[in-house]
Chains A and B, each alone.
Chain A
Amino acid sequence: MTGAVLEALASHWRRNRLQLLTLVLGLALATALWSGVQAINAEARASYDAAAATLAEGRFHQLMPREGDSMPQALFVALRRAGWLVSPVVEGRLRVGGTAVRLVGVDPLTAPPSSAASEALARTDLNRFLRAETLVAGPEMAALLEANMPNPVLVDQAVAPGSVLADIGVVQKLLGRAGRISRLIVLPEQPLRQQPLADIAPDLVLQRADGATDVGRLTDSFHLNLTAFGFLSFAVGIFIVHGAIGLAFEQRRGVIRTLRALGVPLRRLVVLMIAELVVLATLAGALGIALGYLIAALLLPDVAATIRGLYGADVAGTLQIRPAWWLSGIAMALGGALLAAASALWRLARMPVVAGAGGRAWALGSGRTRTLQAAAAVVLLAAAGVLAVTGGGLAAGFALLACLLLGAALALPPCLAAILRLGEAQAVRAMAQWFWADTRQQLPGLGLALMALLLAMAANVGVSTMVSSFRLTFVGFLDQRLSAELYVDADAVADRAALERFLEAHADAVLPIMSVEATLAGLPAEIFGVRVGYTYRENWRFLDAIPAVWDEIEAGRAVVINEQLSRRAALHVGHTLALGPGLSLPVAGVVGDYGNPIGQAIVGEALFRQTFPAIEPSRYGVRTGNPQGLRRALTEAFDVPPARIIDQAAIKAFSLSVFERTFSVTDALNVLTLAVAAFAILMSLLTLAAMRLPQMAPVWAMGTTQRRLAGLEILRTVLLAAITAVLALPLGLALAWVLLAIVNVEAFGWRLPMYLFPVEYIRLMLFALAAALLAALWPAWRLSRMEPTGLLRIFANER
């Protein structure tokens, strides 16, 4: 019996190849969407981590000799043995062709990933690097080296100007410092058990990392948002799979009835259909993963190359088909297919064997289901509203997202029906009236595809808004926080006064940066002292401030606080903040701060020095028109290691270029989701085409040409897509708002400002319409070319 039933089930696909193709392709595309977005997300993550790492160059702790400028290499071995994950660095100066060159020797095998050195190293051939005594340098320096040194030279932009990177052994040889190292980098991840430093190397001191420019928090937020969109694309996929399977099952209703009437037990039938589905889903899932990989690989060659460059072969593997990828992709296809099939199977199981009237009734079409759906939509949207007003916590934020999206999707068919009914009421001519009514009749069949389009459009509007808002905020934040061209570590120079004199003489402006940890309004925080000047006045953007904010700060009469402190302590402009015993100042401004987890209060330099006389500046921001020249001058004058002079402009430019690449990747995400939604429409139209013949045949018989009917079909699809796209706009904006203003605040304590991009939305909408148009073309063409017998058969078989 099983054989005969399987054959009957399979014969359906053999006779309806197009339908099989659409089902498998639909499933495959949904899977591809999921794995593609995952890949894009992973790439974005990697890119952002790289950018963040470059910005946070000084983030590693280091071990320095207590006295002198070097230590024996044996200490490195001893520390590694004692469980310390450290990497040695030797630094020194060498005169090459009359120019002082700073040589930096690193150990490529232990250097921390995502440091500037390992970035550059990863781009070079490790074997050559180790054996051939290769030197790596920026273009300018490389020319000098090639002219004066026997060693092979590699050019790499990431190496700081004036520096040369090489293997530690090579540098030791060149500097004549065999067996000596300058410092040890402490890797971020250390084993839990390790001997205390004082026991192994009492002559070393631990220098803590300086986390002042850590933008990790900002990028964390971006990751969170991208992850949310990953799930959204999953939801779009589920809708599509649901639609595809629902339609396929619907079409076989009659066959299922016949099989049962002929004595095939229900349970056997359900089991066989599930088996059939598992086979199809596995096939489609595999295809989808391959497709997702292909899409990601095609769209991301740039990013892939960057990642390989930044991280070496290991991380370039993100774009390899890994087991996790396979598994999540197949699980998505199988889970999605079974989830989607569950309701269809349940309906089949409950369907009476003998066909009553209305055997064609769509699952979504029956009045009761429709009412239930509308009710569910109202409840979900109401819940979303309540959560938006009263909800607190990250979980509530995500619950709000889920309610909003599901509610909106369920509300779509009733909304469309209402709009179409309006059109019907306005229609005068018979043909127009038929058009509106017939379009409304199509809704149940097209509902799921349109929901997918709604979600895809909303996701795209949301993703564009979020990404572009993020970009504006990020660029603004970088401009504000990294406005000085150079940052010099104050500890790098013994004679601080001499350094200050030198800087005052050579720079356009010097901005000493002083900070002290404090408890403000009962919360852990930092107080910063700043020298108010044109840099602050021109670059800082406040969320809220009094007009003369910098004058007040300079005069020591007010304080500026960051958004985190403002939100957590409910402090706003005009409120008074107690900075310490006997010192309370009014808040003159609140500033967005996206790189910092804790609260900050900023006061003028004079007030800071007076209140905290013991605190010296930790760094100096330097404004100059010639950062390279000043950098060289500083190095010459004070023997400052290049790592202690941070060229923020170069870092900023590099980070922005990495960000730009990721932004272009999100464009790909938009194209992908809309393409898949368009495919869902195509699939539904093709599947519906045969069922729609009975509705069209009479209109044709009464004197409408097939071409005209086909034209109306196209118009119908584009009309439905247009209404859906218009409805998706507010949904997408709501989505972006929830992510930026609720989820982000809950997760990170600050709100990402939301900007609107109307041109972008119009572009997206046109794209969605074009996609719908494309989807409608083929079915319409088939209709216009159909043999009259196909239409006539409708009358012959009418019963």
Chain B
Amino acid sequence: MLLSIEDLLKSYPGPEGPVPVLRGVTLSLDAGETLALTGESGSGKSTLLHLVAGLDAADGGRVGLDGQEVTALDDSGRARLRRSTVGIIFQQFNLIPSLDVAANIAFQARLIGTPEPQELSRLAHALGLEPQLRKYPEQLSGGQQQRVAIARALAARPKLILADEPTGNLDEATADGVMEQFLALVAETGAALLMVTHSPRLAARLGRRAHLSQGRLA
């Protein structure tokens, strides 16, 4: 099993004491599996993703990822897990504005070693980014930026991809195009995918579906 989440708890401080967001989430995902996470706005989907990636600390429960206990790792351990095992795609692209497209795509792969140039150009080609390689993020459209973020995540060959509404900022036609390429590439690399989405249409294209509500999965 690649990912196993057990009884995960998380609350945020509110004006009148802690506000629980996750009240015992349990979930598991095998290698190569794809899962769509849905739920109302504010239900805690992003929070769950952040805990899985070790970007934030849980209040209780455990997250096991690739044989490691995420919730028990220190900062550098979690950082290591993020750069070698996980690829994250945010709704807000989160590219490095001062690096050009080629450098952005290669970036995470370079954090863990030396990326193969053929692999990088294959990804750029598959995502239609070849004409943009020398441009900077601010010179790209939203859909192009998100394709760069996808290429960056895939180039590092992660076992698990976490995607938080990757096409939420894009119009429907663009979103469909990007999603098409994205899912094809995920299938090709054999990575597992945990994707947050509002769209039932997109959710239907993934292997499994889970709905977050009242802090629990249904």
Q: What separation, in Å, do the CA atoms of A12 and B152 have in the docked complex?
A: 19
| Chain B contacts for A16, CB-based, 8 A | 98
| Chain A contacts for B97, CB-based, 8 A | 15, 254-255
- Whether B169 lies near A261 (C-beta < 8 A) is no
- Whether B98 lies near A352 (C-beta < 8 A) is no
Q: What separation, in Å, do the CA atoms of A4 and B50 have in the docked complex?
A: 24
| Chain A contacts for B112, CB-based, 8 A | 1, 263
| A267 beta carbon closer than 8 Å to chain B | yes
In the complex, residue of chain B having the shortest beta-carbon distance to the beta carbon of A11: B98
| B198 beta carbon closer than 8 Å to chain A | no
- Whether A261 lies near B80 (C-beta < 8 A) is no
- Whether A353 lies near B99 (C-beta < 8 A) is no
Q: Mark A194-211, 1 if CB is under 8 A from B, else 0.
A: 000000000000000000
Q: From residue 438 to 475 of chain A, which have CB atoms closer than 8 A to chain B?
A: none
- Whether B96 lies near A263 (C-beta < 8 A) is no
Q: What separation, in Å, do the CA atoms of A793 and B81 have in the docked complex?
A: 36
| A258 beta carbon closer than 8 Å to chain B | yes
- Whether B99 lies near A11 (C-beta < 8 A) is yes
Query: Given A263-B111, A264-B111, A353-B55, are A258 and B79 also a contact pair (CB < 8 Å)?
Result: no
- Whether B94 lies near A265 (C-beta < 8 A) is no
Partner of B103, one of A7, A263, A353: A7
| Chain A contacts for B46, CB-based, 8 A | 354
In the complex, residue of chain A having the shortest beta-carbon distance to the beta carbon of B75: A266
Distance between B95 CB and nearest chain A CB, rounded to angstroms = 7
- Whether B95 lies near A261 (C-beta < 8 A) is no
| A8 beta carbon closer than 8 Å to chain B | yes
- Whether B82 lies near A267 (C-beta < 8 A) is no
In the complex, residue of chain B having the shortest beta-carbon distance to the beta carbon of A9: B98
Q: What separation, in Å, do the CA atoms of A321 and B95 have in the docked complex?
A: 46
- Whether A352 lies near B80 (C-beta < 8 A) is no
| Chain B contacts for A257, CB-based, 8 A | 94
| Chain B contacts for A352, CB-based, 8 A | 55-56
- Whether A354 lies near B82 (C-beta < 8 A) is no
- Whether A8 lies near B75 (C-beta < 8 A) is no
In the complex, residue of chain B having the shortest beta-carbon distance to the beta carbon of A12: B98
Q: What separation, in Å, do the CA atoms of A265 and B111 have in the docked complex?
A: 11
Distance between B120 CB and nearest chain A CB, rounded to angstroms = 14
| A260 beta carbon closer than 8 Å to chain B | yes
- Whether B55 lies near A261 (C-beta < 8 A) is yes
Distance between A352 CB and nearest chain B CB, rounded to angstroms = 7
Query: Given A255-B97, A261-B88, are A4 and B56 also a contact pair (CB < 8 Å)?
Result: no
Query: Given A263-B79, A265-B80, are A258 and B111 also a contact pair (CB < 8 Å)?
Result: no
Q: Mark A259-298, 1 if CB is under 8 A from B, else 0.
A: 1111111111000000000000000000000000000000
| Chain A contacts for B96, CB-based, 8 A | 8, 11, 255, 258-259
| A193 beta carbon closer than 8 Å to chain B | no
Q: Mark B98-132, 1 if CB is under 8 A from A, else 0.
A: 11000100011011100000000000000000000
- Whether B111 lies near A4 (C-beta < 8 A) is yes
Q: From residue 243 to 258 of chain A, which have CB atoms closer than 8 A to chain B?
A: 254-255, 257-258
- Whether A255 lies near B81 (C-beta < 8 A) is no
| Chain B contacts for A265, CB-based, 8 A | 75-76, 79-80
- Whether A262 lies near B99 (C-beta < 8 A) is no
In the complex, residue of chain B having the shortest beta-carbon distance to the beta carbon of A3: B110
In the complex, residue of chain A having the shortest beta-carbon distance to the beta carbon of B51: A354
- Whether A262 lies near B76 (C-beta < 8 A) is no
- Whether A4 lies near B107 (C-beta < 8 A) is yes
In the complex, residue of chain B having the shortest beta-carbon distance to the beta carbon of A349: B75
Distance between A249 CB and nearest chain B CB, rounded to angstroms = 15
| Chain A contacts for B56, CB-based, 8 A | 352-354
- Whether B84 lies near A263 (C-beta < 8 A) is yes
Q: What separation, in Å, do the CA atoms of A216 and B218 have in the docked complex?
A: 88
- Whether A262 lies near B136 (C-beta < 8 A) is no
Q: What separation, in Å, do the CA atoms of A267 and B78 have in the docked complex?
A: 12
Q: From residue 736 to 773 of chain A, which have CB atoms closer than 8 A to chain B?
A: none
| Chain B contacts for A259, CB-based, 8 A | 96
| Chain B contacts for A354, CB-based, 8 A | 46, 50, 55-56
| Chain A contacts for B81, CB-based, 8 A | 263
| B43 beta carbon closer than 8 Å to chain A | no
Q: What separation, in Å, do the CA atoms of A5 and B99 have in the docked complex?
A: 11
| B53 beta carbon closer than 8 Å to chain A | yes
Partner of B138, one of A12, A261, A793: A793
Question: Per DSSP, are chain B's interface residues mostly helix, strand or loop, or mixed?
Answer: helix
| Chain B contacts for A7, CB-based, 8 A | 99, 103
| Chain B contacts for A268, CB-based, 8 A | 76
| Chain A contacts for B86, CB-based, 8 A | 263
| B4 beta carbon closer than 8 Å to chain A | no
| B83 beta carbon closer than 8 Å to chain A | yes
| B92 beta carbon closer than 8 Å to chain A | yes
| A501 beta carbon closer than 8 Å to chain B | no
Distance between A35 CB and nearest chain B CB, rounded to angstroms = 33
Distance between B32 CB and nearest chain A CB, rounded to angstroms = 22
| A799 beta carbon closer than 8 Å to chain B | yes
| Chain A contacts for B84, CB-based, 8 A | 263
In the complex, residue of chain B having the shortest beta-carbon distance to the beta carbon of A353: B55
| Chain A contacts for B92, CB-based, 8 A | 799
Query: Given A1-B110, A353-B56, A799-B169, are A264 and B83 also a contact pair (CB < 8 Å)?
Result: yes
Q: What separation, in Å, do the CA atoms of A76 and B33 have in the docked complex?
A: 103
| A14 beta carbon closer than 8 Å to chain B | yes
- Whether B79 lies near A264 (C-beta < 8 A) is yes
Distance between A514 CB and nearest chain B CB, rounded to angstroms = 81
Partner of A255, one of B53, B79, B98, B169: B98
Partner of A258, one of B53, B80, B95: B95
| Chain A contacts for B110, CB-based, 8 A | 1, 3-4
Q: What separation, in Å, do the CA atoms of A618 and B62 have in the docked complex?
A: 96
Q: What separation, in Å, do the CA atoms of A5 and B92 have in the docked complex?
A: 21
| Chain A contacts for B75, CB-based, 8 A | 265-267
Partner of A15, one of B107, B136, B169: B136
- Whether B83 lies near A262 (C-beta < 8 A) is yes
Query: Given A255-B96, A263-B108, A353-B55, are A11 and B103 also a contact pair (CB < 8 Å)?
Result: yes
- Whether B111 lies near A261 (C-beta < 8 A) is no
Distance between A17 CB and nearest chain B CB, rounded to angstroms = 11
Distance between B59 CB and nearest chain A CB, rounded to angstroms = 15
Q: What separation, in Å, do the CA atoms of A16 and B56 have in the docked complex?
A: 31
Query: Given A3-B110, A263-B111, are A8 and B79 also a contact pair (CB < 8 Å)?
Result: no
- Whether A267 lies near B55 (C-beta < 8 A) is no
In the complex, residue of chain B having the shortest beta-carbon distance to the beta carbon of A796: B142
In the complex, residue of chain B having the shortest beta-carbon distance to the beta carbon of A267: B76
In the complex, residue of chain B having the shortest beta-carbon distance to the beta carbon of A356: B12
Distance between A272 CB and nearest chain B CB, rounded to angstroms = 13
Q: Mark A768-799, 1 if CB is under 8 A from B, else 0.
A: 00000000000000000000000001000001
In the complex, residue of chain B having the shortest beta-carbon distance to the beta carbon of A8: B96
| Chain A contacts for B107, CB-based, 8 A | 4, 8, 262
Partner of B108, one of A11, A15, A262: A262
| Chain A contacts for B82, CB-based, 8 A | 261-263
Q: What separation, in Å, do the CA atoms of A3 and B90 have in the docked complex?
A: 24
- Whether A260 lies near B79 (C-beta < 8 A) is yes
Q: What separation, in Å, do the CA atoms of A4 and B110 have in the docked complex?
A: 6
| Chain B contacts for A8, CB-based, 8 A | 96, 98-99, 107
In the complex, residue of chain B having the shortest beta-carbon distance to the beta carbon of A269: B79
| Chain A contacts for B53, CB-based, 8 A | 261
21 pairs, A vs B, C-beta closer than 8 Å = A1-B112, A3-B110, A8-B96, A8-B107, A15-B97, A16-B98, A254-B94, A254-B97, A255-B96, A255-B97, A255-B98, A258-B95, A261-B55, A261-B88, A262-B83, A262-B111, A263-B86, A263-B111, A263-B112, A264-B83, A354-B50
Q: A11-B103, A15-B97, A264-B79 are in contact. List 12 more A-B contacts (CB 8 A).
A: A5-B111, A11-B98, A12-B98, A258-B96, A262-B108, A263-B79, A263-B80, A263-B81, A263-B108, A263-B111, A353-B56, A354-B55
Residues of B within 8 A of A (CB): 46, 50, 53, 55-56, 75-76, 79-84, 86, 88, 90, 92, 94-99, 103, 107-108, 110-112, 136, 138, 152, 169
In order of increasing CB-CB distance, the 10 nearest A-B pairs are A263-B83, A263-B82, A265-B79, A4-B110, A11-B98, A15-B98, A265-B76, A12-B98, A353-B55, A258-B94
